[in-house]
Amino acid sequence: MLSQSAAQPSRGQQLHDRIAALVPYHRSITGEGVRQTLRDLREIVPLTIHEVPSGTRVFDWTVPREWAIRDAYIKDTDGRRIVDYRESPLHVVNSSVPVHARMSLNDLRPNIHTRPDQPDVIPYRYAHYQAGWGFCMRHRDFEAMPEGMYEVRIDSAFTDGSLTYGECCIPGASEREVLFSCHVCHPALANDNLSGIAVAAELARTLMNRDLRYTYRFVFVPSTIGAITWLARNEHRTARIDHGLVLSNLGDPGGLTYKVTRNGGTDIDRAMRHLFGYGDRPGTVRPFSPYGYDERQYNSPGFQLPVGLLTRTPHEGYPEYHTSADDLNLLTPEALEDSYDFIMEVVNLVETNRTYLNTCPKGEPELGRRGLYRSVAGHSAGRTAELPHLWVLNLADGAHNLLHIAERAGLAYSLVEQAASRLVEVGLLREAVGAPPDGAAPDRGMPP
């Protein structure tokens, strides 16, 4: 008889397999690679695929023309391909203009990109918004190229098409929203791109089968221009967003890292700090910077959305970043599953973080007759179990949500939430009427 683990791969292994299936697609900020990726995701979650025509104005940007590439190579004098796009899409600078010429190595050299510090990897480079072209190759192979003439060809084209992005909305009891965003434009990069995509899709698949308080919105967008396009088309909706995370680099074995929002004091910032401090996964909290992934778009001054960035090792922290070494071997099923599990902890906190009112606020309620206080007092043995109840009762004044109480008390959120549930059961708490789902309207101003 097969064991359960043999019959059913772990969630982490399923995520790893899903990433392996998406690796071959030749993605860019526009084009068929993105569409193929989103069509595959649509088999997992009910994804709506949006097409935004080239030339559409989105704030200060314009949706670019669609880029397609059929083939690319550098051939030596014997006609051998020493650089071949068919081997890896990283061999061509993404969004390269077409070129077909014979040129000397000296003339070709400025258009070749390598990593001398990592001679056996192919770097990832792009030229999305400028008319450039180039090849990327292993530095060791570049050094072996003899002087002479080379045939260079990039068979690409720019056409009026569209920018493609995907969106999945899972409705909850409230119209207030939690946003998850990941970028879908990098070719052949497993951690920086596909790990975020796979984990986000699995989160959406899980939440589809749950009763939810919040509405959850997942967006799968090309980096920068895709997030800007989504914001331009959904500006009317952004005021509903109370929490959000940009997801990337979630499959490497490093520890979790969170980059705070522009405000630095939103509930999602405080939740992440709290979970890192009291949970099973100690993590690193980094300050906000307007450089990075699409969190910088959501945190732009015209929006100031409460959207942070969750990764494992940050992009500048691992040598495989933006190289061919960011492959399936870098990812572990255990890290992918751990990332998923942690985000589900965040979801649980967001879902349960209510604001309550003490129904017996004049003096301390009699907890003993409700089974919430030790039968023999005068010693400290039961204090640990009782303290969360006392803190909740004392701060359940309609102005403090459970996360506020956990922070003030210096207790794990899980203990405070369990205490609140018991107090609700015995009639000592009721939810504050009219409070937003997180207990406080999001403050999008700068911290004092």
Query: Beta-carbon neighbour count of residue 277 at 10 Å?
Result: 14
- Check: CB of residue 341 under 8 Å from CB of residue 292: no
Across the strands, what pairs with 112? 135
Residue 254, both tokens? 């490093």
- Check: CB of residue 318 under 8 Å from CB of residue 257: no
| φ, ψ of residue 231 in degrees (nearest 5) | -65, -40
Q: Is 81 exposed, middle or buried (0-12, 13-18, 19+ CB in 10 A)?
A: middle
- Check: CB of residue 183 under 8 Å from CB of residue 221: yes
Give CA angle at 237 (231, 238), nearest 5°: 60
DSSP 232-259: HHSGGGGGGEEEEEEE---SSSSPPEEE
| CA–CA gap between residue 34 and residue 11 (Å, rounded) | 24
Q: In angstroms, what CA-CA distances link 225 with 180, 231, 236, 245, 316?
A: 17, 10, 19, 18, 22
Q: Which residues belong to the annotated binding site for Zn(2+)?
A: 186, 192, 322
